[in-house]
Structure 1
Amino acid sequence: MLRSMTGFASKIITMSFDDGSKVSMAMSIKSLNSRFFEASCKLPPQLTSLETESVRLLKSALLRGHVYVTIYVNNQNAFKGAAEPSFSVIGGYIDALKKIQEKFGVGGQLSIDGLLLLPNLFSVEEKELDEEKRTLILHTLRELIDLVIQEQVKEGAVLADDIKLRMANCRAIMQRIEEKSQELITAQKEKVKIALEEVTLDENKLAELQRNAAYVLLEKMDINEEIVRFRSHLANFEHQLTTGSVEKGKRLDFTLQELAREINTIAAKCSDATIAAAAIDVKVELEKAREQIQNVV
C-alpha cells in the first residue's frame, strides 16, 4: 500500500465556558510534499500550549511531508476573563498627579473621566483551558489526521496504479532490448568467425591479436549482466510497492536510481540505434515513476 504526502481535512467545533459564552473553532490540516517531516502550527495565543502535543501526534501518524495546522477562533474575547482594576497602577497615577500639583502649583480636580484616559488601568486574565477542552481539541485533531490519511491512501492507490504501469512498460522494453542484444552478439560472433577463418597460417601472431580484440569487443557488447540486475531491481521495486512499512518513498526512490544506473550502462555499452532508442524509452518511464514517487510517504 502506498500513501501520498498530500491531503486536507477540516472541521468546526464549538466549546462552552462556565459563564455561558461559546466559541467556535475552525480546525484544518493540510499536508504537502517534503523530503522530511515538518510541521507549521498557526494557533491562537490561548492554544499555544497544545503545539508540542499536536506536532507529536502529526509526526507519529503522517510520517513525512510539510504539515500545516490551522486553528481559527471566531471570538477570542471568549477566552478573556473579567476586567479587574489595577489598583497599584491607579494609585501610582494619583500619587504622580499630586506630586505635579505640589511642585508646579497646578490646580484642578482628578476625576474618573480623566483617569479612564490613562492606559493600563485594568488587567484581564486569560481563562484557563481546562482538561476537557484540551481533550476535545486533541481528539478533533486526531479525527482530522485520520481523514487526511484516508485521503492519502486513496491518492496513493492511484499513484501505485500508474507506477505499476510504468514498471510493466520497462519490463516489456527490456525484453525487446535483450532480444535485440542477442541478435547483435550472434551476428557479431559470425563476423568474427568468418574473419578469423580467412587468416593464413603465416599470420599466427596477427590472428591472435585479432582474436583477442574480437573477444574484447564481444564482451563489451554483452549486456546480459546489466539486464539481469535491472530485472532484479525491478522485481525488488514491485515487491516494495505492496509490502513493507508505510514509509517507503525514500527506499523506492533509491531503487529507481539503481534501475537508472543499469539502463545508463546498457545505453553506454551498445551503439545500436534500436537499443539506444529503447533505453531512452526506459529512462522516460523511470522518470515518470520517479515524479510519482516524490509524492509518496
Structure 2
Amino acid sequence: MLSMTGFGSAEECGEFGAVVVRIRTLNGKSLRIVWRVSDLLRPFIVEAETLLRSRIHRGSVEVDADAEVSPSLVLEVDEELLAFYSGIAGRFGAVDGAKLLALPGVVRQKGGGCDILKKPFLRALRSALTETIKRRREEGRLLKKALSQLLMTAERLLKKIEKNYTSSVPQLAEQLAAKVRQAMERLQIRADEAGVLREAAIVAERVDIREEMDRMAAHMEEFRRTLNAKCAVGLRLDLLTQEMQREASTMAAKCADAKVAVDILELRTVVVEIRQQVQNVE
C-alpha cells in the first residue's frame, strides 16, 4: 500500500553544470501533474511525464526542476545581426556592447543546445521519483497499520451491536405490542391478539437493522481483503467506506433501542475515522 503524500529530490552535476529536480505529492482523486521547470528543460516534459505516470497513478504531483549551465553551452551570438546593429549604432556615436547584446535575436539558443541536459534531467527525475515512492511506501505501511486497527475496532463494535440487538429483540417486540394495544384502546379499535401482533410485526420490521448489520459485516470483510491487496486500492477502499457510512447511518436512523444506538454512534465515528485515513491511500 502506498500513501499519496511524499517528497523527493535529486541533483545531477557535470561539465554541463547542474540539474535539480524536486517532487512533492499530495492527495487527489485522480492523477494531476503540475510542472514548474526551467525553459531549458521544457523540451523534455513529454518524455518526463510519461516516466512519471508509469510510476505514480493517483494524487496531485508537483515537479520543480531547474538547470544551471554555462551560457556557452546553450547560447550563441548571431555575428551578422550584431554587426548590423553595431553599424547602425555607430552612426550615432559610441556603441554600448551590452545594449547591443540585449537586442532581440542577437543572443539566441543554440540549435540542439539543450539536448546535453536531457539525460541528466531524466536521471535526476528518476532518482527523485525513487525517493518519493520510498517515502510514500513508508507512510503507506503506517496507514495500513492504522486502518487495520480501526477496522478491528469497528468489527468489535459490530459484534457488540449484533449481540445487544439480538438480546433486545424480545423486549422490543413486547414494547411494540403494548404500544399497539394502547393505541387501539385510545382510538377505541377492537382487535384480537393476532391483529395486535400483526401490527407490532409491521412496526418491528421498520426498526429491524439485521440486514444493515449483515451488509456492514460483508463490507468490512471486503475492506480487509482489499487492504491486503498488492495493487493501488485507495479508490476501492474509499467506495467501501462510503457504503459502510451509509449502512451505519441507516442503522442509527432505524434503531429503537437506546443502548444499541450508543454503540451504533460509536461505530459511525470509527467509520468516519477510517474514511479520513483512506483519503491518503493511492
Which residue number corresponds to residue 48 of structure 2?
A: 54
C-alpha separation in 1, matches of 2:266 and 2:3: 26
The reply on whether 1:185 has 2:169 as its aligned counterpart is yes
Amino acid at match of 1:168: M
**Runs (4+) of structure 1 moved beyond 6 Å?**
192-196
Q: CA deviation at 1:156?
A: 0.4
Amino acid at match of 1:281: E
Which residue number corresponds to residue 30 of structure 1?
A: 24
Cα–Cα, structure 1 residues 83 and 114, in superposed 2: closer, same or farther, change >3 Å? Answer: same
Which residue number corresponds to residue 201 of structure 2?
A: 215
Which residue number corresponds to residue 235 of structure 2?
A: 250
C-alpha separation in 2, matches of 1:137 and 1:75: 12
SS at match of 1:69: strand
Identify which of 214, 221, 233 aligns with 1:228.
Answer: 214
Give the unaligned 5+ runs of structure 2.
181-188
Amino acid at match of 1:31: T
SS at match of 1:26: strand
Cα–Cα, structure 1 residues 73 and 193, in superposed 2: closer, same or farther, change >3 Å? Answer: closer
C-alpha separation in 1, matches of 2:179 and 2:275: 46
SS at match of 1:27: strand
Alpha carbons 1:85, 1:122 under 8 Å: kept: yes
Cα–Cα, structure 1 residues 271 and 194, in superposed 2: closer, same or farther, change >3 Å? Answer: closer
Q: CA deviation at 1:152?
A: 0.6
C-alpha separation in 2, matches of 1:160 and 1:46: 41
Amino acid at match of 1:185: V
CA RMSD of aligned residues (A): 3.0
Q: CA deviation at 1:72?
A: 2.0
Cα–Cα, structure 1 residues 169 and 110, in superposed 2: closer, same or farther, change >3 Å? Answer: same
Cα–Cα, structure 1 residues 292 and 192, in superposed 2: closer, same or farther, change >3 Å? Answer: closer
Which residue number corresponds to residue 3 of structure 1?
A: 2
C-alpha separation in 2, matches of 1:150 and 1:93: 57
- TM-score under structure 1 length normalisation: 0.81
Q: CA deviation at 1:61?
A: 0.8
Report the count of equivalent residues.
273
The reply on whether 1:260 has 2:245 as its aligned counterpart is yes
Return 35-44 or 76-85, whichever deviates more: 76-85
Q: CA deviation at 1:250?
A: 1.3
Alpha carbons 1:185, 1:222 under 8 Å: kept: no
Greater Cα radius of gyration, structure 1 or 2 = 1
C-alpha separation in 2, matches of 1:189 and 1:83: 94
Residue-by-residue CA offset, 1:109-157 (whole Å, 9 max, x unaligned): 7388336455628333336356664223213212221221111111001
Which residue number corresponds to residue 67 of structure 2?
A: 73
Which residue number corresponds to residue 184 of structure 2?
A: none
The reply on whether 1:279 has 2:243 as its aligned counterpart is no
Return 216-225 or 235-244, whichever deviates more: 216-225
Alpha carbons 1:181, 1:222 under 8 Å: kept: no
The reply on whether 1:122 has 2:121 as its aligned counterpart is no
C-alpha separation in 1, matches of 2:71 and 2:276: 47
Alpha carbons 1:35, 1:65 under 8 Å: kept: yes
Which residue number corresponds to residue 143 of structure 2?
A: 159
Give the unaligned 5+ runs of structure 1.
17-21, 98-108, 197-202
Which residue number corresponds to residue 152 of structure 2?
A: 168
Which residue number corresponds to residue 42 of structure 1?
A: 36
C-alpha separation in 2, matches of 1:27 and 1:195: 72
Cα–Cα, structure 1 residues 33 and 282, in superposed 2: closer, same or farther, change >3 Å? Answer: same
C-alpha separation in 1, matches of 2:125 and 2:115: 15
Alpha carbons 2:11, 2:124 under 8 Å: kept: no
SS at match of 2:231: coil
The reply on whether 1:113 has 2:94 as its aligned counterpart is yes
C-alpha separation in 1, matches of 2:36 and 2:143: 30
